[in-house]
């Protein structure tokens, strides 16, 4: 029978059907079980969350007695700015390098050689330089450049209000403001924070309530720099 070889046997037809069915099912399973179609388990979500690195929330404070919380020579506020910052933003590791009576000119001379680990560097300098006629502009620029070369963010603060020497304070504040603008450095405008004469510890230094408001203003700037640390 010459045509019998062209007619598939029953067994051959069954085998062909099985092969086609298996291929279709395999393709369907592959499409339905691909990773893009499977929702992650709760355990996987928890593991991934645990593996996510914690944000780096650290700041180092450089400044004079205003940032140190000093007044009347050897006195210090009950809650100096560094402590207030820790209270307001407990996620931050705060290193206080402020020194009573320090100038930007003096600090800038050693700034580049100092060891730092903070992600953010806050620089509050200018009043002492302005009162002593020291070159504030280049000193600030030197410190900003050094901190940035280390890969750190920098925040400059304006000068807080005083009960005397308003013109000198304004001149120093204008210098800090200009440096911040020209170098695109976040600026905490301390001069804009309201104060009453009774909120001063002496003619130059904030008492507790005013100091606290200055820190609150600084915190708002830090929040913009590192919102994940709020």
Question: What is the set of domains in the chain, with CATH numbers?
Answer: 58-229 (3.40.50.1110)
Per-residue pLDDT tens digits for 2-34? 444 444 555 555 565 555 555 544 554 454 544
| Residue 4: per-residue pLDDT | 45
3-state DSSP assignment of residue 170? helix
The yes-or-no verdict on residue 148 having pLDDT over 50 is yes
| Residue 7: per-residue pLDDT | 46
DSSP for 78-121 reads SS-HHHHHHHH-TT-EEEE---TT--HHHHHHHHTTS----SEE
| Axis crossing angle, helix 136-149 with helix 104-111, rounded to the nearest 10 | 30
* Rounded Cα gap, residues 14 and 204, in angstroms: 99
């Amino acid at each position: 029978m010459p045509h019998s070889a062209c007619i598939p046997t029953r067994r051959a037809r069954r085998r062909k059907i099985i092969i086609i069915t298996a291929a279709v099912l395999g393709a369907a399973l592959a499409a339905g079980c691909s990773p893009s179609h499977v929702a992650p388990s709760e355990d996987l979500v928890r593991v991934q969350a645990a593996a996510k690195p914690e944000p780096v929330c650290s700041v180092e404070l450089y400044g004079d007695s205003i940032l140190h919380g000093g007044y009347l020579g050897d006195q210090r506020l009950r809650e100096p700015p560094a402590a207030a910052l820790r209270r307001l933003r407990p996620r931050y590791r705060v290193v206080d390098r402020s020194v009573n009576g320090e100038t930007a000119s003096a600090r800038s001379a050693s700034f580049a050689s100092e060891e730092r680990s903070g992600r953010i560097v806050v620089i509050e300098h200018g009043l002492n330089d302005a009162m002593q006629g020291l070159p504030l502009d280049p000193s600030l620029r030197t410190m900003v450049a050094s901190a940035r070369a280390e890969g750190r963010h920098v925040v400059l603060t304006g000068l807080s209000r005083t009960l005397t020497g308003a013109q000198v304070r304004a001149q120093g504040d204008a210098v800090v403001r200009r440096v911040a603008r020209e170098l695109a450095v976040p600026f905490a405008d301390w001069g804009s924070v309201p104060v009453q004469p009774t909120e001063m510890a002496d003619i130059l230094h904030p008492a507790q309530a005013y100091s606290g408001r200055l820190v609150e203003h600084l915190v708002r700037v830090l929040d913009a720099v590192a919102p994940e640390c709020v």
